Structure 1
Amino acid sequence: TPFMLSAQSGHVSTVKYFLDHGGDLVKGLNKGRTVLHHAVCIGCCKVTEFLLSKGVPVDIDCGHGTPLYMAAINEQDKTVKILLDHHANPNIIISGANSPLMSALVYRSLKCMKLLIKAGADVNCNGSMLTPLLLATMHGGYTNFIKLLLKAGPDPNIPDDEQRHLQRRKALIKSKADTAFKQKEYKIATKIYDLAIAHGESATLYANRSVCKLLIGDGEGALSDALMCECCDLIGQKLATVKLQLTCYSRSMNKPVMLSWTHTI
C-alpha cells in the first residue's frame, strides 16, 4: 500500500501524512508485514523511531515474524539496535525454527549478532531445531561467528559428534528451509538450503533451492541448480520424485530457456 511504501522512503513527514489520513499502524499485508516491518527491513531509522513513538507494538507479529526478526534477516543492525533499545524480545522463536540470532547468523551479520547477544539473546536458542553454534560449525567461513558464540558461553553439552548426528542435522536443516519456503521467505530458505547442500548433495535439495532462486528473480541461479539436480540424478542417487518446470533467462542466450525434468526413485 502507499502507507507501507512511505515507510521505506525514509521520510517521516510522508509517513505522518498517511497516518493522519487513516493509515493503519498494525495492519499486516499478506506477507505478514506491517508498516514497522517495512521500515526496519530497509533500515529507515527515523521512520522506525517515529512509528514506535506512535505506539506500534515493538514485537508485533502478523504471522511471519517480529520486526526484530525481519531486521536481522535483512542485516539492518541500526534498526536492530533501535528495536532492542525499545525492549524488543530477542528470544522469540518464529514457527519453531528461527530466532533473530539464528537469522543474523544465516545472513552472516556479525554486527546484528553482537547487538542481540548483548541484549540477552539466548545463544542456545532453546526451542529452535538447531543451536547457532551447531549451525556455524557445519559450514565454512564462520570462524568469527564461532568465536563470538563461544565467548558468549553456549551450552557445552550440546551433542557435536559429526558422524553420529550428521543425518539428523541434515534433516533439521532441510526442515528449517522447508519451513521458510512455506512462509514465502525465499531468500532465507535459499541460504538454509546452501547449508543443507554443503552436507550432502541431492537432487531434491537442488530442486528446492532452484525454485527459491527462481522466485527471488535469480534466473541464472535457478537454471544452474536445475542442471545440478539433473547431474545428481544421473549419478544414481535415490531421490524422491521431483517434478519441476522452470522458465528463466540466460544472459549468454538472452532469451527464455524452458527446462523440465522428472526424478524418480
Structure 2
Amino acid sequence: MNDKPVFEDENLLQTEKEIQEAARRNDTAMIRRLICIKVNVNAKNNDNRTALHWAVACGNEDAVKLLLDHNANVDIEDKFGMTPALLAAWFGHLQLLRILVNAGAKVTVRNSIGQGIHHCAAHQGHLAIIRYTIEELQEVPLDKPDQTGKTPLLLAAENGQLDVVTHLLARGCDHQFQDKEGNSSIHLAAGQGHVHVLENLIEGIFSESKNKAGQTALHLAAEAGHFNCVKLLLDNQCQINVRCSQNLNALHYAVKQGHKDVCHLLVEEGIDMNAVGQKQQSALHLAVERGQFAIVEMLLKANINLQLQDKQGKTALDLAVRSQHAVLIDMIIKMERFNARNLDTSQVAAEGQGDTVLDLTFNHVQNLSHVRSVLWNLATKHLKPGDWKKLAEHWDFSKKHIKAVETQWTGSNSYKEHGYRMLLIWLHGIITLGKHPIKELYESLVKIGKAEVAEKIRRQANTEKDSSQKCEVM
C-alpha cells in the first residue's frame, strides 16, 4: 500500500507542469526556483513532452541552455517520436539545433513516421537548417525516405517549399524518386497546386511518370482543380490524353470534382472528350450523374458525343432522366435536336446566330420575356392533356425525347409543365434557325387542328402595340 499522501502527488504534478510552463515562457528565474526544490526537469506531460521540448519549440534559447545545464535529456522523445533536435528543425530554430548538437543530441534520430531532421526542415521550408545539416552534419542522410516513402525533396515539393526544392535539386537529390504511392516530386507539386515549384521541377527534367494508380501529374492537377498547374503542364507538352489504370483521362478527373475552368482548358487544348473509362462512362456521363449543370453545358457546346453508352447501355440523356434532372434533360434534348439538323456552331455563327446556339439555357438571349409569356399562357391555359405531344410530334420530337420530358411529375397538372418545357426546347431550335417564333407557332397550331387557340395566341402576342417585344404573325 502507498503511504504517500495524495496531496503530495498532486503537488508534484503541479510543480512539474509549472516547469514546463516556465520553459514555454522562457522564464529562467522560475525554472531555477523549481530546480532548487528538486523538480524533475525531465518530467513528461500526457504527450510525453518535457520542459526541453517546450523551450525548443518556442525558440527560448535561455531556457534551453539552463535546462541542458541541469541534465535535461537531450534525446528524449515525445509520443510522436519528436526529440528536441527534430523540433528545432521543424520550427526552424537553427541556433537551438546547434546548441543541442553540441550538447550531444543524436542527429540521425527519426520520429514515429520515420522523419529525420532533413524531413522536418524540408516540410516546413527551413533552408538554413538544410544548409547546416548538409554542410556540418554529414552523417544525416539526404535522400532517405520516411515511412510513406517521401524523401525531404518530396516533402518540400508537396508543401510548396520552393527554396528548399531548388537547393536539394542542386545538391543532386533524385527528382524522379517515388513514394510508396508512386508519386514523384512533380506529382506532389502538381497535386497540391504549387505552380512555382512545379515550374522549377519541369525545367529541363520534365517527367511523365505514372504513380501506382497510373496517374500522371496532369491527372492530379486536374482532379484538384489547380488551373495554373494544368496550364503549365500543357504548355510543356505533357501528354494530354494519357489514361490512368481505370482508363480515365484528365477531363474525367476534372469533371468528377466539378472544376469547370479546368474542364474548359482541357477541352480547348484538344483532349479526347469522348474517351470512356472502365465503366464506359464519358466525361458527359460523369457530369450528368453529378448534376454539374455548367460543365454539362460546356461539354454540349463542345459537341461531345451524346450517343455514347455506359456499361448499362445508358446515354447521358438516360442518366439525366433517371436522376430527374429536368434542366439537364432539356439541355441535352436541345443539343440532340440541334445536331439532328446537321448544323455546326461555326455554320450558325457565320449566319449571325452563334451566341444563341451556344446558350442552351437562354441566359444571354435578350427580348424573350414576351415570347416566353405567350408560351406559358399557351401551355397552362389553352393546351389540353395530350395536345403538347401533338405539337412535339409535329416538330419531330422523338418518342424518347417526349418520354424524357414526361418523366417529371408535379401532380395531375404535370402536362402543363411538360408542355411549357417542350415549347422552350422548340423555341431554342427556332431561334437558332433564325425563324420568327410566333409565326411558326401560329402555323403549327393550325396544322394540328388548333386554329382557335392559334388565333388567341396571335392576339396575345400583339397586345402591346408599341412594345419593342411585339411579335407579329404576318
Equivalent position of 1:154 in the other structure: 173
Tell me what 1:134 maps to. Answer: 154
- Structure 1 residue ranges, 4+ long, deviating more than 4 angstroms after superposition: 138-141, 159-162, 166-170, 197-200, 231-238
The answer to whether the Cα contact below 8 Å between 1:99 and 1:125 also exists between their aligned partners in 2 is no
Shift of 1:200: 4.7
Matched with 1:119 is 137
2:48 & 2:214 partners in 1: Cα distance? 31
Alignment deviations for residues 155-192 of structure 1 (CA, whole Å, 9 cap, x no partner): 5773555532375999xxxxxxxxxxxxxxxxxxxxxx
Supply the distance in 1 between the matched residues of 2:99 and 2:54 (Cα, whole angstroms).
14
Deviations 1:204-245 (CA, angstroms, capped at 9, x unpaired) = xxxxxxxxxxxxxxxxxxxxxxxxxxx98777799xxxxxxx
- Provide closer, same or farther for how the CA distance between residues 162 and 63 of structure 1 changes in structure 2, counting only shifts above 3 A: farther
**Residues 156 and 75 (structure 1 numbering): CA distance in 2 closer, same or farther, change over 3 Å?**
closer
Equivalent pairs counted in the alignment come to: 183
CA distance, structure 1, for counterparts of residue 213 and residue 89 of structure 2: 28
Quote the residue 1:110 is aligned against.
Answer: 127
* 2:22 corresponding residue in structure 1: 6
Q: Is the 8 A contact 2:26 2:60 kept in 1?
A: yes
- Provide the rounded CA distance (Å) in 2 between the counterparts of 1:165 and 1:140: 20
What SS does the corresponding residue of 2:47 show, helix, strand or coil?
A: coil
Which whole-Å deviations, capped at 9, do the CAs of 1:5-59 have from their partners, x for residues lacking one?
1112223222111122232222221123110000001111121112112222211
C-alpha distance in 2 between matches for 1:71 and 1:108? 13
2:101 equivalent to 1:84: yes
Q: What is the letter of the counterpart of residue 93 of structure 2?
A: Q
Residue 165 of structure 1 pairs with residue 211 of structure 2: yes
Tell whether the 8 Å contact from 1:41 to 1:74 is kept in structure 2 after alignment: yes
Q: Which amino acid aligns with 2:27?
A: H
- The aligned residue for residue 48 of structure 1 is 64
Return 5+ residue gaps in structure 2 as ranges: 1-16, 179-183, 185-206, 226-254, 260-285, 290-474
Q: Structure 2 counterpart of 1:119, which letter? A: L
What is aligned with 1:242? none
Amino acid paired to 1:7: A
Please name the residue that 1:98 is paired with. Answer: 115
Between the aligned residues of both structures, percent identity stands at 21
Q: Is the 8 A contact 2:122 2:130 kept in 1?
A: yes
CA RMSD of aligned residues (A): 3.4
Q: Per-residue displacement from partner, 1:88-107 (whole Å, max 9, x unpaired)? A: 22322211342222111111
The code of the aligned residue for 1:110 comes to L
**Larger RCO, structure (CA 8 Å, separation 6 or more):** 1
User: 8 Å contact 1:32–1:61 — kept in the other structure?
Assistant: yes
Name the TM-score, length of structure 1 as normaliser: 0.58
CA distance in 2, matches of 1:38, 1:106: 20
3-state DSSP of counterpart to 1:163: coil
Amino acid corresponding to residue 46 of structure 1 in structure 2: D
Give the aligned partner of residue 18 of structure 1.
Answer: 34
Over 3 Å counting, the alpha-carbon distance change for 1:156 and 1:31 in structure 2 is: same
* CA distance in 2 between partners of 1:123 and 1:169 (Å): 27
Partner Cα separation in structure 1 for residue 145 and residue 169 of structure 2: 16
**Partner residue of 1:69 out of 86, 101, 111:** 86
- The residue type paired with residue 31 of structure 1 is D
Aligned equivalent of 1:219: none
Q: Mean alpha-carbon deviation: is it higher for 128-137 or for 32-41?
A: 128-137
Task: Give the TM-score, by structure 2 length.
Answer: 0.34
* Alpha-carbon distance in structure 1 between the residues aligned to 2:215 and 2:42: 37
- Name the structure where strand makes up a greater proportion of residues: 1
Deviates more, 1:130-139 or 1:56-65: 130-139
CA contact (8 A) 1:37 1:67 kept: yes
Question: SS at 1:101's partner residue?
Answer: helix
**Contact 2:125 2:156 survives alignment (8 Å):** no
After superposition, residues 214-229 of structure 1 pair within 5 angstroms as none
Deviations 1:107-126 (A, max 9, x none): 11112222222323211134
Correspondence list, 1:188-203, <5 A: 200-201=223-224
Contact 1:201-1:232 within 8 A present in 2 as well: no
Letter paired with 1:163: S
Q: Counterpart of 2:209 in 1: which secondary structure?
A: helix
1:152/1:58 Cα in 2 relative to 1: closer, same or farther (>3 Å)?
farther
